[in-house]
Amino acid sequence: MAIRGQINFPGDKSISHRALMLAALCKGKSRISNLSTGEDIRSTRRCLDACGIAIHDKADGVTVHGGSFSDPPSPLNCGNSGTTARMLLGLLAGKGINATVVGDNSLTSRPMERVMTPLEKMGLKTERNNETLPVKIKKSQLSGIEYHLPVPSAQVKSAVILAGLGVQSETSVRESIPTRNHTELMLQALNADISIHGDTITVSGGKPLSRFAMKIPGDPSTAAFFAAAAAVVPKSRIMLRGISLNPTRTGFFSTLQQMGGNIEYFERSKMSGETVGDFEIRSTALRSVQLNRHEIPRLIDEIPALAVVATQANGVTEIRGASELRFKECDRIEAICCNLKNMGVQIEEFEDGFAIEGPCHLKGTAIKTFGDHRIAMAFSIAGLIAEGETKLDDRDCTAVSFPGFFAALEGIRE
């Protein structure tokens, strides 16, 4: 069995969230094509719709009628989407909306204090019992602040920026470690009042945003799982087309190259400030790598895929500074270590990561996905090189980011 062929991916999930929210801020009708098909994006659409933003499906994408928000008649259910919840809080705070934000059981257990702290410093009035959802926000007079992110988080950064767009004075966000910058790039493309100097982003409101048309590039986080498959399955070769090559998102691919991975890049272009391109991955011998906290933000979502690749690399791969993984859809460090141990891998668990000694001969086993789409996809890839059957306890959770995952994977298996 080998992995062969080419894949075009649905739109990037992170950019899709932001495109919908920024289109909601723009006066008039914006058009978005190749929107992510994941359930998380549906959560963002439902929440915006409940706030008076009309979003319609068209043959070539969706149209968003933005510019006019209203208080939602019932709590806004963000489902499993932390991006929806955190960024929506900033967006609605800036628009002076009264709303209660809730989520499913998984999202309700994830930290929201990190986003509430800066928003409350801006003057947002809230009602909440602890550091998690539900959170009730009230129409408030916000003021600009200068905020230094204590933990690298593109979601928190974006929430503060979105809130800052509703304030006449300046709001500045400083990050010590760069995180994905899609919000900034899109706002620059929309000629918003935004400036970037070194590690500091500054915005101010008052300048209206114009409607736009945008095609969302393919999701590099989803593409990483297919690249991992091509890297570890012998005699494999696949082409991934139209993928976002934003430097803040390509950490997995540059790490794979450090490990000896055979990646060749082809045509590149620009879409709304984002670099997009095609690349080919071929299987080859791999070596271990060591990653620290400065490198983690560029591949935080792809670490489950990287763990599978590490099982086939010569030497000890060590990933540290990734404690944020414990606060994703599940505790991903625990999920990775538990399942790889059951597959026969020599893995040592740390509070902020793990170390894997390879190469390992994987054995098929029952996989506990913990309802996490990234864990399900990663161990589907591991199953391709395992001896015996690998069975996931929840295949459907992949719909959070890529409902067509298994069909796409089957389509490139020879």
Q: Whole-angstrom Cα distance, residue 334 to residue 235?
A: 32
Q: The tokens of 100 are what?
A: 């209660």
Strands of 272-398 (E only): list them.
274-282, 286-287, 290-291, 313-319, 346-350, 353-358, 366-367, 391-392
Is 176 exposed, middle or buried (CB count within 10 Å of its CB: 0-12, 13-18, 19+)? Answer: exposed
- Comparing CA positions, the residue from 358, 350, 360 lying closest to residue 326 is 350
How many residues are given for the chain?
A: 414
Q: What are phi and psi of 171, to 5 degrees?
A: -120, 130
Q: Which residues contact 155 (CB under 8 A, 6 or more apart)?
A: 82, 83, 86, 87, 115
Q: The tokens of 276 are what?
A: 């997009």
Q: State how far the alpha carbon of 381 is from the alpha carbons of 187, 224, 250, 308, in Å.
A: 36, 11, 20, 8
Q: Which residues contact 326 (CB under 8 A, 6 or more apart)?
A: 332, 333, 334
CB contact burial 295-304 (16+ within 10 A = b; e otherwise): bbbbbbbbbb
| Catalytic residue chosen out of the listed positions 40, 219, 301, 372 | 301
Q: The tokens of 231 are what?
A: 């890297």
Helix (H) or strand (E) holding 269: strand 262-271
Q: Is 219 noted as a catalytic residue in this protein?
A: no
Are the beta carbons of 216 and 32 closer than 8 angstroms?
Answer: yes
Q: The tokens of 167 are what?
A: 């304030």
Neighbours of 120 (CB within 10 A): 16
Please list the active-site residues.
301
